[in-house]
Amino acid sequence: MASVISKIGNVMLLKKNALTSAHVPATKWLELNSLTHMLNQYPSVYVKPNDCARGRGIIRVDRLGAKHYRVRTREGGSSFHSSTSAVLGQIRRVQIKRRYIVQQGIASLTKDGNFFDIRVHLVRINGKWQMAGAVAKVATKSRIVTNRHSGGTPVSVDEILERGLGYHAMERHRMMKNIESVCVGAARTIGRSFPKWREFGVDLGIDAKGHIWIYEVNITPGLMVFKHGDLPAFYRVLKLRKQAG
């Protein structure tokens, strides 16, 4: 059985659920063939450790044209290469000591062109999963990841939907309902295989068409992002997690 901290293992579980399968980016083990295939199919990919590394070791590769690629690291480093074998060589030089996966890149961007994602905290209460809270994180212009250690800014989800994406009130309400449905479905799916866990943090993005993409499911979701980005949501999560079981 796949480990709950295995990103690719969780992808396999989520792909089996009709509710969540359409929301999971294409994901493969990192090797030259998979990297080449993914970069031929998608304009960008993320390369990251398969297990929990708290954002460390994430790399983005963009296809800029025929045989022209840019490799960017979480720390802001950038290099250019003319073949996928050269790209893989660069990845091997900068990756941390983990087994890596390559995942379809999602253009989850604000109107200003900043990457953003949303963390949804879910708890199991009396055997039923529910969304305890959600908060967004916005990257700076030059960065590929959104966490605070890399200069990202936590903000409320309502702010990212209204100001960042330009959604009106009804669109925001509909999107939150969709996010809740997808994330509860993800928690149920992972929770059935790993019943001892009573909290999950789902990281997701929203593309330009309004489609929700699940990046990963965390088993030890922290709360500091809520404290810095949406204090009322922080207290709601604190209250509900006491009831988790």
164-217 residue pLDDT tens = 999 999 999 999 999 999 999 999 999 999 999 999 999 999 999 999 999 999
What three-state secondary structure class fits 108?
A: coil
Whether pLDDT at 133 is above 50: yes
- Are the beta carbons of 223 and 238 closer than 8 angstroms? yes
User: Domain-by-domain residue ranges, the chain?
Assistant: 26-104, 116-241
- Are the beta carbons of 13 and 190 closer than 8 angstroms? yes
Whether pLDDT at 55 is above 70: no
User: Which pLDDT band, with edges at 50, 70 and 90, does 66 fall under?
Assistant: confident
**pLDDT, mean over the chain:** 91
Tokens of 225: 């992002």
Check residue 52 and give its pLDDT.
Answer: 67
Pairwise CA distance, residues 26 & 214, whole Å: 11
- Between helices 84-94 and 32-41, what is the axis angle to 10°? 120
**Annotation: CATH topology of 116-241:** D-amino Acid Aminotransferase; Chain A, domain 1 (3.30.470)
Pairwise CA distance, residues 165 & 204, whole Å: 15
Whether pLDDT at 3 is above 60: no
Going 210 to 163 to 72 to 153, the CA torsion angle's sign is negative
- Are the beta carbons of 135 and 157 closer than 8 angstroms? yes
Q: How many beta carbons lie within 10 A of that of residue 39, not counting itself?
A: 19
- Tens of pLDDT, residue by residue over 135-175, are 999 988 777 777 666 667 899 999 999 999 999 999 999 99
Check residue 144 and give its pLDDT.
Answer: 72
- Tens of pLDDT, residue by residue over 216-229, are 998 888 899 999 99
| CA torsion, ordered 192, 146, 104, 99, to nearest 10 deg | -70
Check residue 2 and give its pLDDT.
Answer: 45
pTM beyond cutoff 0.85 = yes
Cα–Cα distances (Å) from 74 to 59, 124, 128, 142, in that order, read 6, 33, 36, 10
Percentage of the chain modeled with pLDDT above 70: 94
